Amino acid sequence: MSKIIDGKKIAQNIRMELKDEIKNLKKDGRVPGLTVVMVGNNPASETYVSMKEKAAEEIGINSRLIKKDEDISEKELLDLIDELNNDPAVDGILVQLPLPEHIDEKKVIESIVPDKDVDGFHPINTGRLFSGQEDSLRYEACTPLGIIRMLEREGIEIDGKNATIVGRSNIVGKPIAHLLLERHATVTICHSHTKDLKAETKRADIVVAAVGRAEMITGDMIKEGAVVIDVGINRIDGELLGDVEFESAKEVASRITPVPGGVGPMTIAMLMENTVKARKYHGV
């Protein structure tokens, strides 16, 4: 039976380390500033934003939420982001997705200056990741970065391992592939056109499930002793389920993340980490 990776505990430890760091930054002049912009009243977004605000408050980040009605025009939203780009008290800007259909998400993401893009979605930040520019300021997307931190904190070897990622989104699948490549894993990305998914996952030492389909990855698709990271959050009949069928997979895997309590807390911790990084970059 596998060891369950406690994402809550790891995230809490990281937040406490950041809290000490923020105390020192405060002595230098000011605490990090994070502004979250939310459009409309999406219940899932509201819950997630509330968790972000709580985490920021806990460690001493100056967090501000700007809520706008769903009928805000694209121009009004872009003008707001421009104001935040030019506000020296704002180190990080996060626009909560999804946005209403009449607003171009791509245009909004690209309007945030790269050095305040703590979500790590701006093309310049993703470009620096994909081209391996570690010597430049770059922010990695929070969920993939959280997965890497989780593996590191658990002492899980990445170098030389076979890693299979199920899902090719710009938010998780593609960036985690590059982060694993940087750490010398041999990476396979699977998707809806993959001919034999089971054959690909079965040979992986590390499986990252990020496809958005409840319990798609079952225990018989996992190699004995593999590490399984479940990114999926699927609400089925009021219950939260991952992309991995937990009960069968835990009998085969050496380590596995639960849903909830696995990757989710790490995503928020990495947002805090990126915001502290932005504060250091911007200085006093």
Catalytic residue among 96, 161, 223, 277: 96
Cα torsion at 280, 14, 30, 142 (round to 10°)? Answer: 60
Catalytic residue among 6, 117, 119, 243: 119
The question of whether 12 is a catalytic residue gets the answer no
Closest CA to 149 of 239, 234, 257, 237: 257
Catalytic residue among 6, 52, 205, 230: 52
CA angle (97 as vertex; 93, 99 as ends), nearest 5: 110
- Pull the structure tokens for residue 153: 């904190």
In the chain, the amino acid numbered 37 is V
Q: Which residues contact 216 (CB under 8 A, 6 or more apart)?
A: 166, 209, 232, 243, 244
The question of whether 159 is a catalytic residue gets the answer no
Q: What share of the chain is helix, strand, coil (3-state, %, to 5)?
A: 45, 15, 40
Q: By three-state DSSP, how is residue 265 classified?
A: helix
In the chain, the amino acid numbered 176 is I
The question of whether 196 is a catalytic residue gets the answer no
Q: By three-state DSSP, how is residue 37 classified?
A: strand
Active site residues: 52, 96, 119
